[in-house]
Amino acid sequence: MSNSQPVFTPHLSVVAFDFGGTLERADWDEARALNAAGGLLRDVRALGVVVPATISDAPSMLEAIVAAYEVDRRRREGSLRESTTEQLWADILGDPPGDALAGHTERLTVFFEENAYVRTPVAGGRDTLSALRDRGMRLAVISNVITRTRVPKALAECGLAEFFERVVMSSVYGVRKPHPAVFHHTAALLGCAVSDMAYVGDRVNRDVLGARRAGCGAAILFTGAEDFLPRTATAGGRPRRAEQDAFPAPFFEPDLNTDSLDEIAGFIETRRRPASTPTSILPTADGARFSALLFDAADILYFRPNGNDRVRALLKEQGIAVETLRTPDPAAVAELRRQANEGTIDATEQRRRMLALHGVTDPEDVARTLRALETHSNDVCTTDGVPETLAELKRLGVRRAVVSNTALPLAKKLEFFEHGGYGHHWDAVVLSCDVGIAKPDPGIYRVAVERLGVAPTMAAFVGHEQHELDGARKAGLATIAFNGEGLNADLTIIRFADLPGLIAV
């Protein structure tokens, strides 16, 4: 294949911003923090909360609060799942606060975060947002924050709320930057490809890295509002060694490093391309042309070496006498799968109900088998050639989306992809449990092509099950069969790596 073809440039149509340290500067003030801690101590006592003996005055209360934030930071560091204000206050008081604080932890946390810092809007913010909007850019906020109300309130108070179509907070979504899921989630809410979104933030280790992991069209590092943070905070947002070991150096390099928000609108303009710019195309035998490929996930991109359906085998491994169990009614199993795929129940509940269909009800047997099923679900191997093939398709400008029937959350699917080395190669990831539509319903394929910004007739679906290929065809897509026998499709490939060989040179 010729290497003379140009590298694809995304059509940027969305700019998402971090909030703290990017649109708002927050400076820690020890005196204000002491006053806030004293006020909180009086407040929780007035609510009837039993305060531990180690917290007797404002300084000891402040020490407990700062220590709790550090515990919270370490807890979420590995999983990147957001904590709750209830967890934070359990750490502050050294014990679950109980009913006395029920319904108050959000208010108390917001009070501290508003009063322990001097908070000011970053210079140039409104002008930059206005310039981007005037250029037709759509705007969003993606913020790591433990509270649900402070960021919307602050945006309104500084007159910036009007600019943003979406404000995505880790406290609501449940996942924190730099996990790629929060960026994909934001793009899905906006109905666009994540590669059409630029991201602006002030931390390399969460903002630049997160945008790179997600495959955003541009990552912009803003260094003009260096916060003065509490004494426990990690200064500068430098990548931790574990992150440096897990990701290549380019994942930490921004496309633009600036100390002025005023530079952003001009930079975005240089990175845009006309929507009509042609991209590389995939021809079928009859001469039709395609600019996007949609992929099934399991048994296309990855596979489970021990198979997909191992409930009875795992039950036997747990020492359960499977010969005494019921054989589930196929109709009940199908209904359970439908509910899970459409997002009515999550993966854990699906597994729990499946065990009940087998007659497994003992709590210890259920808990043990659920853990085994989770381990089995996470044991995935990447199909040969997937990372290299997707990278080449990306270079050629062929848009790529996953369309998967699953009850697993987006974060988990993306972790599978990252583990295989291809997490950053997706323009869109459409999961049935997120959109409430499952293959072979033509609607789920249409959701994908709409996010990619292509007509169905310009896309093809790569799958291994006939009914899913038929659903794609009903949605107006062409079909490519892979890893299946006797399938009726427009094209068939033997190896995943054969896909780039179909590209017109």
pLDDT > 50? residue 234: no
What pLDDT does residue 226 have? 60
Q: What is the pTM assigned to this prediction? A: 0.91
pLDDT tier for residue 235 given thresholds of 50, 70 and 90: very low
pLDDT > 70? residue 127: yes
pLDDT > 70? residue 279: no
pLDDT tier for residue 231 given thresholds of 50, 70 and 90: very low
Beta strands in 165-240 (DSSP E): 166-169, 197-201, 218-222
How many helical (H) and strand (E) elements, i.e. helices and strands, does the chain have? 20, 18
Q: Residue 220 in contact with residue 256, Cβ under 8 Å? A: yes
pLDDT > 80? residue 5: no
Residue range 311-329: mean pLDDT, rounded: 82
User: By C-alpha distance, which of 40, 44, 41 is closest to 100?
Assistant: 44
Q: Round to whole Å and give the CA distance between 226 and 241.
A: 22
What pLDDT does residue 283 have? 47
Instruction: Read off the tokens for 156.
Output: 């309104």
pLDDT > 70? residue 227: no
Instruction: Read off the tokens for 78.
Output: 């590995």
- pLDDT tens per residue across span 34-45: 999 999 999 999
pLDDT tier for residue 242 given thresholds of 50, 70 and 90: low
Tokens 């699953």 found at: 406
Average pLDDT, the chain: 89
